[in-house]
């Protein structure tokens, strides 16, 4: 007789149904809970709506609706002087000064980043928001004309944004033909100062300049060169004495 095998069919069917159930449950967990192959939940990009408004040089993004977002994960690209609250929820305001024609609010997760909103706006010229002021300026040329001259200055950015400027030093002459002899580029944050110290050989200052002028895009200062003035005076006195001596000899003759 052939052995009875009908009992194996229900067992196989049950095992098959259990396997299908486990597969469906695993697939559902991926979609419902965002769990990937590594067993770690995928990051969900926050969804939020922002209203925009511009006043003077400030662009304001106001959270209107949607998810509450950790402010530390937000970056404003295309703007400076940005103020982001610790928590961005309904009614929260993000303020920035646009320096590009397009400002983007970007969310950064642990592994991914996403742009939450993009605003087209008029950019601001940084030079209009910065002011490099000369706080002090001194020239010590007491060792001239044979030694060295020391030039010291302090520059402060009294503006609202970080900016870069060329700082220029000129030699000033009586004939009005000033000569540029030093250019230095400074980048200063709001309220930041930079001290400039320069030592130059007096031999570099040809033709007996009268002064040194320090110039930024917003300010200037002039310091007289006393050492060279003394030299000019001594030369003038010497020439006068020579002429007087020659005049005396001609009379005696």
pLDDT per residue as tens digits for the range 130-184: 899 999 999 998 887 778 889 999 999 998 888 889 999 999 988 878 889 899 9
40 within domain boundaries: no
pLDDT per residue as tens digits for the range 92-136: 999 998 988 999 999 999 999 999 999 999 888 877 778 999 999
Q: Cα–Cα distances in Å, from 12 out to 17, 18, 161, 172, 242?
A: 9, 10, 74, 103, 129
| Cβ 201 vs Cβ 215: under 8 Å | no
Let me know whether 85 and 149 are in one domain: no
Beta strands 193-201 and 148-157: pairing type? antiparallel
Domain boundary among 58, 89, 124: 124
Q: Cα–Cα distances in Å, from 231 out to 141, 149, 234, 240?
A: 11, 14, 5, 14
Q: pTM of this prediction? A: 0.53
**What whole-number distance in Å separates Cα of residue 174 and Cα of residue 71?**
60
Let me know whether 204 and 113 are in one domain: no
**What whole-number distance in Å separates Cα of residue 135 and Cα of residue 150?**
17
CATH number at residue 219: 2.60.40.10
Q: Which of 134, 104, 136 is CA-nearest to residue 119?
A: 104
Q: Which domain holds residue 64?
A: 48-124
Let me know whether 58 and 117 are in one domain: yes
């Amino acid at each position: 007789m052939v052995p009875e095998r009908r009992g194996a069919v229900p067992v196989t069917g049950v095992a098959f149904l259990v396997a299908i159930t486990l597969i469906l449950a695993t697939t559902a967990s991926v979609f419902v809970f965002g769990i990937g192959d590594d067993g770690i939940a995928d990051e969900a990009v926050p969804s939020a709506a922002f209203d925009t408004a511009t006043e003077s040089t400030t662009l304001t993004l106001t959270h209107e609706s949607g998810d509450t977002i950790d402010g530390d994960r937000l970056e404003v690209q295309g703007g400076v002087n940005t103020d982001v609250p610790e928590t961005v929820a309904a009614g929260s305001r993000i303020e920035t000064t646009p320096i590009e024609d397009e400002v983007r609010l970007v969310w950064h997760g642990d592994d991914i980043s996403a742009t939450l909103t993009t605003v087209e706006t008029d950019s601001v010229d940084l030079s209009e928001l910065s002011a490099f002021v000369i706080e002090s300026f001194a020239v010590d040329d007491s060792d001239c004309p044979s030694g060295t001259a020391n030039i010291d200055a302090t520059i402060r950015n009294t503006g609202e944004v970080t900016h870069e400027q060329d700082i220029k030093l000129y030699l000033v002459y009586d004939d009005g033909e000033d000569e540029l002899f030093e250019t230095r580029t400074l980048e200063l944050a709001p309220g930041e100062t930079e001290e400039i110290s320069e030592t130059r050989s007096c031999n570099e200052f040809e033709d007996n300049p009268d002064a040194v002028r320090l110039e930024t895009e917003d300010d200037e200062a002039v310091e007289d060169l006393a050492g060279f003035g003394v030299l000019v005076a001594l030369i003038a006195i010497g020439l006068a004495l020579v002429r007087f001596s020659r005049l005396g000899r001609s009379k005696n003759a």
